[in-house]
Amino acid sequence: MTTGWAHRLGFDRFSGLYLLAAFFIFFGLTEENFLIWNGSIEFVLTEKVIVCMLALAFLVPLTTDTFDLSIGHNMALALVIVNKMALETDLPDGVGALVGMGACLLVGALNGFIVVRLRVNSFIATLGMSQVIAAVIRRIHDGGQITAALGDAYVNFGKADVFSFTWPGSESEISLPWYFVYGLVVAIVIWYVLEHTPLGRHLFATGGNREAARLSGVSTDRLTYGSLIASAGIAGFAGLVYSWKFATYTSSVGPPLLFSAVGAVFFGASQLKGRFNVWGTVIAVYVLAFGIKGIGLRYPREIDWIQPMFEGLVLIIAVAVASRQAIVKVNRRKPTSTDDETSREIEHEVQPSPATTVTDKRSIPDLTD
């Protein structure tokens, strides 16, 4: 009975939205600054675009059951290249952005070669590649920040407001920058490809049963290769989004966001569809973000240790829930004892009787005429 009403209320598919509503109600009533648009809501919406991008970068290869743990370092690679070229060359900042994206795509191709051609486990391959990228970043820039190197034209390309107005009789300004729109477009494109194209179906088929997909004619190796390149490209674009938002480089950017992105993907797998999906991932990113924001307002001195504990517990619970849902689906597909009895009855009904199995050829009609 409990499972029935919980299913009808959508707890198995919309638990993230229920949790988000609970955060808004609780922290909205207890923390006066939580519902201020330019104090919390606008900040979280724009701040977490970068985490969303990294989560989607992790999601794409995961549909083929492939891990990419180098996304955080790929983001940092694109970021350091665009800032370093702006600092030390006279080339337009857009050229530096293209070089940074190209470097990330090259990393994705190397990941694909190692995983597909050399048959190295993706977890190990991309974990090792992340350290190679870290060494390259250190070679490009030996630590410290790079500030005030990017031009205003480049920064405004992403940071300028596309939507902004002030409430009548209020000084509270509502605004959303262009990089928020860029992130939304990327999410829509990935959603459409995964859910509404043969390519998306082939990606999920590869992740569901690689051998069965291969025998069905799906080019599983090519899809894995391409998903890793796409992952690196999306992560590199996240680095460009950071450069538009903050116009700076610091060595602490990129890799620390990996855990938040991975947690959002697995949390999102329990939302909407019961498998890895784009909008479930986006919901998970903002559920975690608003939860952490509310906790930070309520316990500002303890947020340094509460945030990692909160994210870790959410990841554990999300994986446990996803595993439970998978077990329930498998159990639903198993035939019941009633089904077995029905099957035996059908077999008994269609089984020929001894009278019809005589070897007298006259009892068998000739169907060749």
Q: pTM higher than 0.75 for the full model?
A: yes
| Full 3-state SS string of the chain | CHHHHHHHCCHHHHHHHHHHHHHHHHHHHHCCCCCCHHHHHHHHHHHCHHHHHHHHHHHHHHCCCCCCCCHHHHHHHHHHHHHHHHHHCCCCHHHHHHHHHHHHHHHHHHHHHHHHHCCCCHHHHHHHHHHHHHHHHHHHCCCCCEECCCCHHHHHHHHCEEEEEECCCCCCEEEEEHHHHHHHHHHHHHHHHHHHCHHHHHHHHHHHCHHHHHHCCCCHHHHHHHHHHHHHHHHHHHHHHHHHHHCEECCCCCHHHHHHHHHHHHHHCCCCCCCCCHHHHHHHHHHHHHHHHHHHHHCCCCHHHHHHHHHHHHHHHHHHHHHHHHHHHHHHHCCCHHHHHHHHHHHHHHCCCHHHHCCCHHHCCCCCC
Q: Report if residue 129 sits inside a domain.
A: yes
pLDDT for 39: 57
Q: Report if residue 190 sits inside a domain.
A: yes
pLDDT for 331: 60
Q: Report if residue 356 sits inside a domain.
A: no
| CATH number (domain holding residue 140) | 1.10.3470
Amino acid at 180: F
Q: Report if residue 360 sits inside a domain.
A: no
Q: Report if residue 337 sits inside a domain.
A: yes
| Nearby residues of 250 by Cβ (< 8 Å), 6 or more positions away | 145
Q: Report if residue 24 sits inside a domain.
A: yes
CA–CA separation, 245 and 324 (whole Å): 39
CA–CA separation, 332 and 57 (whole Å): 32
Tally of domains in the chain:
1
Q: Report if residue 352 sits inside a domain.
A: no
Q: Report if residue 237 sits inside a domain.
A: yes
Residues spanned by the domain of 68: 2-344
pLDDT tens, per residue, the chain with 369 residues: 445 555 565 555 667 777 777 877 777 777 766 665 555 667 777 788 999 999 999 999 999 999 999 999 999 999 999 999 998 988 999 999 999 999 999 999 999 999 999 999 999 999 999 999 999 999 998 877 888 788 888 888 888 888 776 655 556 667 788 888 999 999 999 999 999 999 999 999 999 999 999 999 999 999 999 999 999 999 999 999 999 988 888 888 888 899 889 988 988 887 777 788 999 899 889 888 888 878 777 777 877 888 888 888 877 877 776 666 655 555 655 555 544 554 454 345 444 444 444 444 444 444 444
